[in-house]
Amino acid sequence: MAFDIEMIKSVYSTVVEKVDLARKLTGKPLTLAEKILYAHLWDGQPTQPYVRGKDYVDFAPDRIACQDATAQMALLQFMQAGKQQVAVPTTVHCDHLIQAKLGADKDLQAALNNSNEVFNFLESVSNKYGIGFWKPGAGIIHQVVLENYAFPGGMMIGTDSHTVNAGGLGMVAIGVGGADAVDVMAGMPWELKFPKLIGVKLTGTLSGWTAPKDVILKVAEILTVKGGTGAIVEYFGPGALAMSCTGKGTICNMGAEIGATTSTFGYDASMERYLRATDRSDVADAANAVKEYLTADPEVYANPEAYFDQVIEIDLSSLGPLLNGPFTPDLSTEAGSAMTEKARANDWPLQVEWGLIGSCTNSSYEDLSRAASIAQQAIDKGLSTKAEFGINPGSEQVRFTAERDGIIQVFEKLNARIFTNACGPCIGQWGRYEDPKNAPKNSIVHSFNRNFAKRADGNPNTHAFVASPEMVAAIAIAGRLDFNPITDTLINDRGEEVKLEEPKGWELPERGFAVEERGYIAPEKDGSHVEVVVDPNSERLELLTPFEPIGDQITDARLLIKAFGKCTTDHISMAGPWLRYRGHLDNISNNCLIGAVNAFNKKTNFVKNQLTGAYDAVPATQRAYKAKGIKTIVVGDHNYGEGSSREHAAMEPRHLGVAAVLVKSFARIHETNLKKQGMLGLTFAKESDYDLIQEDDRFNFVDLHEFAPGKPLTIEVLHADGSKDTIVANHTYNEGQIAWYKEGSALNLIKKQQA
């Protein structure tokens, strides 16, 4: 039986009326995304049609999911909101703070030893406020959500950018910062600009070595890392119907890598099979009763150009296996000779040192079974792996079932290292090197979603390539980046030339899923007696102090850093070893912008202190400005804040005294996070004005006292030689968001309203 079945039935009980009314108001057939959005309006019944990409709308999500790294700050903020319980079903999942190094048992025990304080804090806060708690080792948040909580037609938010994984089960599931989650936990509406819609029509069928992963790798090539910004991507067509539910989840998961608000598929037979296989026949029965409301109207898919803002068509029958990377998830290369040519031209190492399977993107039973079929072939044909091989199962349910069915044992026979059911290398929790900064140049392949520099192992010289689990297995066996299993052969231990056959797997386990201990702890019905203790001397946890408003007078502000090129949330607030400080704002602020490249010297963590003229680390320089009461600004390039939803990338500069971030363009979540923390997130009205910013500049915000929706701000830039430029900065703040700024943060406003 499903968690929260009564809540799900309640959603379905009103969906018909709401969608019918929305269809009448808009005067047209509706996409699935529109149906879910209109069915989750904060005010209940739709009263007007909304303009895509323009109107800010208040929504009422059905549930919230938080992973342990982001949950700390989210729950620290919620503790200030003055509420007795969370207003909507919420869960916390301990999957980020487990480092992959020696193997599952030893690594899990090490995490329990090293992060016990944090796990205890999260468990006690969850118990106090009515939050479901998934223990360390229970699994990766998004796989656990897909198995237990996701449902067709639902809306959820999560404090992780890959919350979008639940779109594989027909949800609109969106990654947000912790402050957004706190709003919903506190019973407030959640605000989102009504998204644009991108339709992806899938024709043909996947076969052979081509996997769902290759679909999203192709979409990433087409749309790039920012092509989905402000849009929901909706997949449809015969190719979508023929795909498994977890395959759909893989595609939706990596929608975060194209900047999409989320991605989704209409409810179909594969979703029903998955719901029944995961002991949720009650959800499947309820969904079947309203199934035409859990997918787009037929006219939409028959004539998509009339209903989507953009339409892409991909023929799955002609799609081959791809590898995307290095250093960006949208650089796509076909397997084989194309990779040979590109690698040699760009000096990418062709020898592969590691193949890694797992992460929230590709750790389902189906993924493991298809990769295991390749591993079994290697064993049968006398092959061994030329690269090291690692596996992260997605959940304890997946791991237990895969072990019962002999899948885990196949990997072990091929000398694969089985890591904990956790994120591990995908989010930088990989104990690969003692000194990653000085580690050698190398290539790895993985089935993860992101491959930014230093992302997996902290080594800036690691060239990471993203591929399907079966391709990762094949390349780990071959040891070469340009290995094409469709055409290439290998030499076995008897000197024979052998060829790998196409992968085979199971959409769902033939004997059903099984698990002895899933790792879930339900909260007490009344947790008012539960005491949450935070040691004031802790280096891991710190109670929050409300931010003071920045004010409507910013004059003589200094430039902290002008970031050059790609500046993701990994550059602004690194993960890896810094994850241990995610609950301590002052300590983690020591990694603020240390990965950003300074445009004036092309170095990282090395900026000019205008007070002394000396160069120093970014956090140290900013702390010097803060000590003098001097406000600063950060300048950036396109898609600033791409990547993870981590709100620390906004909270750290806010905590240290940065007043404004001025860039060519923002990634959606990061822009919202800046607004939530009471900062100015601004864009150049004229992109070329980025080039006017000089190292010793000072800034006066001329008309900030007139801050209003739709009104650009004027910034006077004073150069060291006495000259000056005037820059116009655009913004997307509405009245409510300007109130956040004036109060110092969205949380301050919630507390004020609660009082």
Cα–Cα distance measured from residue 122 to residue 66, given in angstroms and rounded to the nearest whole number: 10
Residues ≥6 apart with Cβ < 8 Å to 305: 311
For residue 66, what are the β-bridge partners?
92
Does the active-site annotation cover 347? no
Closest to 558 in 3D by CA, of 616, 605, 607? 607
Cα–Cα distance measured from residue 221 to residue 257, given in angstroms and rounded to the nearest whole number: 10
The two beta strands, 724-730 and 680-684, are antiparallel
In three state form, how does the secondary structure of 21-41 look? HHHHHHCCCCCHHHHHHHCCE
Does the active-site annotation cover 404? no
The secondary structure element, H or E, covering residue 68 is helix 68-78
Helix or strand or coil: residue 275?
Answer: helix
What is the DSSP annotation of 82-134?
T-SS-SS-EEEE--SS--BSS-HHHHHHHHHHHSHHHHHHHHHHHHHHT-EEE
Does the active-site annotation cover 96? yes
The two beta strands, 63-67 and 155-158, are parallel
Give me the phi and psi of 200, to 5 degrees please: -120, 110
Q: Which of 40, 63, 96, 480 is catalytic?
A: 96
CA torsion angle 454 457 462 468 (round to 10): -100
Number of Cβ within 10 Å of residue 533's Cβ equals 10
Q: Which of 4, 62, 68, 95 is catalytic?
A: 95
Helix or strand or coil: residue 315?
Answer: strand
Q: Which of 160, 183, 367, 689 is catalytic?
A: 160
Does the active-site annotation cover 399? no
Q: Which of 263, 644, 665, 745 is catalytic?
A: 644
Q: Which of 142, 370, 399, 450 is catalytic?
A: 450
Closest to 59 in 3D by CA, of 139, 197, 157? 157
Q: Which of 580, 584, 646, 731 is catalytic?
A: 646
CA angle 137, 143, 144 (to 5 degrees): 60
> N- to C-terminal Cα distance for the chain?
40
The two beta strands, 462-466 and 231-236, are unpaired
Which residues does the annotation mark as catalytic? 95-96, 160, 450, 644, 646
